[in-house]
Each structure stands twice: as structure tokens, then as C-alpha cells.
């Protein structure tokens, strides 16, 4: 970072408030509690900052990398760390792009730093993009679901670092869905994609730091490489904690209810059903014009973060789940498929319920779940079919835990 750029940043002040503004309504529901004294890895960074002296640093981050109203990038600049560039994941550096939208590379208007998109034509840093980098710092808030693509970006960062001899620092953060493990485990290579890169369940019960250790330990990087990895751990966290996110992790996960409902409702993205993108309640409602169930209606419209929503302008009938809270998440502790089965069994449209592009199977990590839904297999039997793989996964998971584990519910 040159002195001119540093002076520019110092003159305008820290940008933490700017990063927070689009998400200032994100907070806890009245019935939620969280353990006190939880301090994410970013808050431990000052004790490790000496390790960045004389290093060229790239930051892999978005709007969530904030503490005390200060963004990670601004903090590093204030400590005169030599930042050469920023890598941006899905939704972009500022976290405002639509899901699946091509994120452009360019230059950050505030700091002047180059911003390289990892969600577009290339999802993995190229060797030439790492020539002026010694350390990659990864700090992005995850939500603990296999198809939430920030962990796929983590994978590619680690792989690129391993191939070029760079070091990766993960500033760890609590997992807001880290109090349980559930869902089918991705097993077959034909279902591997950017929405599912690892043989883990839909709800994996790991922080990004723990997952990074698992990726290394199980040699999941291309060529069975391992990268030079440093995890700066969260202080005071256990997997029994309900951690309330201070900032919305992406434009359509606006509150904790949506975060808790996301593992189950996210599967609707592979169907004709809307999950409320284009409304004020994404991932808190679902419906379709030809759904013959539910008494709630909504009409998706273009909004920031969902400029081309599914079923745009069409009146959808379905369910309003905004009465649910953290108690629901704690009591359920499983990938909740009741709504998916209900929607399939009450859908009367002429268009196939499951999209023809195979996206549902990529989200599920297999082709079996779709067939089970079509054949109207009971939820109990579906969940039972996951158990052998979950048992094997839970045993492997124990090797990589950095924090005390949750108390398992029956059948996880």
C-alpha cells in the first residue's frame, strides 16, 4: 500500500460504518440469546499482526469482516500492512450483488485497492494474481451450509496457495448453524460443484477454520496438496452456542430467522418454488402460483440483491414462516424437509417441480433425495437413509474441532 493511498484512507476515516449501513436492521429476535464473551478471530488479529511485517498481503473478504465498526481492510491499512489486493466472493466486496450474479473485478473507489472477483469467469486465483502476494487472509462470515458458496471460495484460495507456495490465514468466526449436523452427505463426484465441493452434510457443523483444517487433513485439494494454513481461533465459542450475527452475511439472509431456515428452504432454489427473493422476507416465506396449499400470498418484485427474482410479478401462494424463532432451530436440529415435501405434494403446475438443470441434485449432493420426495417417502425414512454417512462424517469431524462440541440430539 503506497503512502498516498494510506493518507487518503486516513483522511476519510474508517469505513466500518459504511459497510454496516445496508445491514443495520440485522439483529437478534426477542427470544434469542447468545453466549457472552465470544470474540471472532478478527479480534485476535492484533496479537498476530507482527507476522505480517514485510509481507505482501491479499485479503479475501466482504462486508462481514468488521469489528468495533472497523473493517478488516481499514484496520490493516491503519497498521501499515502492505495490502496488494482484495479478492471478492459471491455478492462482491461490499456484499450487495445478487445471488449468482457475475461479480466484476475492478478497483475499490475508497482505498484504490485492486479488487479481483472470485465469482465470475474465474473462481480460483490465477498464479499470476498471486505473484505479488505472500499471505492470503480469509475473513468471511459463513452460515454453516454446504451450498453457501463462501466455503467453496475458501477451498479455491487454499488450493491456489498450495500450488504457489503461499500462506493462508483464516480469521475464524462462529457458525450460526454450528449447533447441529444434518442432511445427506455429498459422496459422488458427479454432484461436486461450486455449491457443493466437499463430502460433508448439508449442515456440516463446522466453523470455516475447522473446515479449512479438514480440507487440509483429508487432502481434498487438487493433487492431494495441503496449504500452509494458520487459523486464528474464536475466543469463548462452543458449538452449543447460539451466535447472533451482527451483520447480514448476504443480501437475502436479512435476519437470524432466515439464517436458521436457509438450510431447508435453500433446497427450493432447485425447484420452481420462490423463497421470497424480491420481497422483504427472503428465506422466510415460500410459494408458487400453482401451489394448492397455504394461506399466505406474495408477489416477487425486483429489489436490491434480487433484481431478477424467480416468478417476478406473479402472485404466489404458500407459507409465511416469520412466526418461527431460535427455539424452532434448537428443537429441530435437523435439515427440515417438511415444507419441501408439502410443496411437492400440493403443486399442480404443468412445469416440472424440480428444475431440469439438475440444480436440486447439486444442492442436495445426490440424486436420491429428489427421488425420495417424488416417491413420497416419509421424512423418518429419508432421515434414516442419511444416518450411516452421518455417523462416518461425525467420526471424521471430531479430528478437526477447535471448539467444544454441541450435545448431539438423537440421530444428530
Q: Where are the domains positioned within the chain?
A: 3-232, 256-376
CATH 3.90.1150 fits 256-376, yes or no: yes
pLDDT at 243 over 80: yes
pLDDT at 104 over 60: no
Q: How confident is the model at residue 35 (pLDDT cuts 50, 70, 90)?
A: low
Element (H, E) at 373: helix 368-374
Of residues 96 and 132, the one with the higher pLDDT is 132
- Dmax over CA atoms of the chain, in Å, equals 65
Q: How confident is the model at residue 19 (pLDDT cuts 50, 70, 90)?
A: very low
What's the pLDDT at 95? 44
Catalogue the long-range contacts made by 253-256 (C-beta closer than 8 Å, 24 or more residues apart). Answer: 253/143, 253/282, 253/283, 254/23, 254/25, 254/26, 254/281, 254/282, 255/25, 255/26, 255/27, 255/29, 255/284, 256/28, 256/29, 256/32, 256/176, 256/326
pLDDT at 210 over 80: yes
What is the arithmetic mean of pLDDT over 219-224? Answer: 98
CATH 3.90.25.10 fits 3-232, yes or no: no
pLDDT at 141 over 60: yes
Q: How confident is the model at residue 329 (pLDDT cuts 50, 70, 90)?
A: confident
**Average pLDDT score, the chain:** 88
Element (H, E) at 165: none
Q: How confident is the model at residue 119 (pLDDT cuts 50, 70, 90)?
A: confident
Give 102: exposed, middle or buried? Use CB within 10 Å, 0-12, 13-18, 19+.
Answer: exposed
Q: What is the pTM of this model?
A: 0.89
Please provide residue 151's backbone torsions phi and psi, each rounded to the nearest 5 degrees: -75, -25
Q: What is the pLDDT of residues 149-175, one digit of tens each?
A: 999 999 999 999 999 999 999 999 999
What's the pLDDT at 272? 98
3-232 and 256-376 have identical folds: no
Contact 24, 69 (CB under 8 A): no
pLDDT at 101 over 60: no
Written in H, E and C, the secondary structure of 338-366 is: HHHHHHHHCECCCCCCECCCCHHHHHHCC
Of residues 161 and 95, the one with the higher pLDDT is 161
pLDDT at 16 over 60: no
What's the pLDDT at 382? 98
What's the pLDDT at 189? 94
Q: How confident is the model at residue 120 (pLDDT cuts 50, 70, 90)?
A: confident
pLDDT at 15 over 60: no
Q: How confident is the model at residue 328 (pLDDT cuts 50, 70, 90)?
A: confident
What's the pLDDT at 13? 32
Could you list the beta-strand ranges (E) of 247-402: 285-288, 296-298, 316-320
Contact 370, 361 (CB under 8 A): yes
Q: Helix H segments across 228-272?
A: 256-265
End-to-end CA distance of the chain: 48
Q: What is the pLDDT of residues 335-357, one digit of tens each?
A: 999 999 999 999 999 999 999 99
What percentage of the chain carries pLDDT values higher than 90?
79
**Which residues does 405 contact at the CB level (< 8 Å), separation at least 6?**
238, 239, 240, 398
Give 146: exposed, middle or buried? Use CB within 10 Å, 0-12, 13-18, 19+.
Answer: buried
pLDDT at 306 over 70: yes
What's the pLDDT at 36? 65
Q: How confident is the model at residue 96 (pLDDT cuts 50, 70, 90)?
A: very low
Q: How confident is the model at residue 365 (pLDDT cuts 50, 70, 90)?
A: very high
Q: What is the DSSP letter of 49?
A: G
What's the pLDDT at 94? 55
Could you list the beta-strand ranges (E) of 19-81: 56-61, 66-67, 70-71
* Cross-strand partners of 392: none
Amino acid at each position: 500500500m503506497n503512502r498516498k493511498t494510506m493518507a487518503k484512507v486516513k483522511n476519510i476515516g474508517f469505513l466500518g460504518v459504511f459497510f454496516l449501513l445496508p445491514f443495520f436492521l440485522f439483529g437478534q429476535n426477542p427470544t434469542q440469546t447468545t453466549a457472552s464473551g465470544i470474540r471472532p478471530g478478527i479480534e485476535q488479529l492484533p496479537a498476530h499482526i507482527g507476522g505480517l511485517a514485510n509481507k505482501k498481503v491479499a485479503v479475501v473478504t466482504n462486508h462481514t469482516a468488521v469489528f468495533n465498526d472497523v473493517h478488516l481492510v481499514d484496520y490493516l491499512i491503519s497498521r501499515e500492512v502492505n495490502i496488494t489486493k482484495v479478492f471478492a466472493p459471491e455478492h462482491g466486496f461490499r456484499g450487495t450483488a445478487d445471488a449468482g450474479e457475475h461479480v466484476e473485478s475492478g478497483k475499490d473507489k475508497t482505498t484504490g485497492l485492486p479488487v479481483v472477483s472470485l465469482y465470475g469467469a474465474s473462481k480460483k486465483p490465477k498464479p499470476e494474481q498471486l505473484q505479488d502476494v505472500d499471505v492470503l487472509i480469509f475473513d468471511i462470515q459463513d452460515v454453516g451450509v454446504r451450498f453457501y458458496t463462501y466455503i467453496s471460495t475458501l477451498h479455491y484460495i487454499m488450493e491456489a496457495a498450495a500450488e504457489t507456495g503461499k500462506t493462508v490465514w483464516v480469521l475464524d468466526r462462529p457458525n450460526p448453524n454450528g449447533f447441529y449436523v444434518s442432511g445427506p452427505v455429498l459422496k459422488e463426484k458427479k454432484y461436486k460443484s461450486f455449491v457443493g465441493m466437499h463430502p460433508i452434510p448439508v449442515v456440516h457443523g463446522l466453523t470455516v477454520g475447522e473446515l479449512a483444517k479438514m480440507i487440509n487433513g483429508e487432502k481434498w485439494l487438487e493433487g492431494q496438496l495441503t496449504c500452509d494454513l494458520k487459523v486464528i481461533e474464536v475466543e469463548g465459542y462452543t458449538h452449543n452456542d447460539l451466535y447472533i450475527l451482527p451483520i447480514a452475511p448476504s443480501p437475502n439472509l436479512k435476519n437470524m430467522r432466515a439464517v436458521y431456515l436457509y438450510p431447508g428452504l435453500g433446497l427450493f432454489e432447485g425447484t420452481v418454488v420462490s423463497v421470497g427473493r424480491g420481497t422483504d422476507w427472503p428465506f422466510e416465506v415460500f410459494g408458487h402460483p400453482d401451489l394448492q396449499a397455504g394461506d399466505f400470498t406474495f408477489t416477487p418484485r425486483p429489489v436490491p440483491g434480487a433484481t431478477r427474482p424467480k416468478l417476478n410479478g406473479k402472485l404466489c401462494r404458500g407459507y409465511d414462516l416469520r412466526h418461527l424463532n431460535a427455539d424452532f432451530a434448537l428443537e429441530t436440529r435437523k435439515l427440515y424437509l417438511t415444507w419441501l415435501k408439502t410443496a411437492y405434494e400440493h403443486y399442480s403446475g404443468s412445469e416440472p417441480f424440480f428444475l431440469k438443470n439438475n440444480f436440486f441434485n447439486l444442492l442436495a449432493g445426490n440424486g436420491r433425495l429428489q427421488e425420495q420426495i417424488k416417491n413420497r417417502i416419509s421424512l423418518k425414512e429419508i432421515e434414516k437413509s442419511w444416518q450411516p454417512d452421518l455417523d462416518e462424517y461425525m467420526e471424521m469431524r471430531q479430528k478437526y474441532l477447535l471448539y467444544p462440541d454441541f450435545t448431539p440430539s438423537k440421530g444428530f
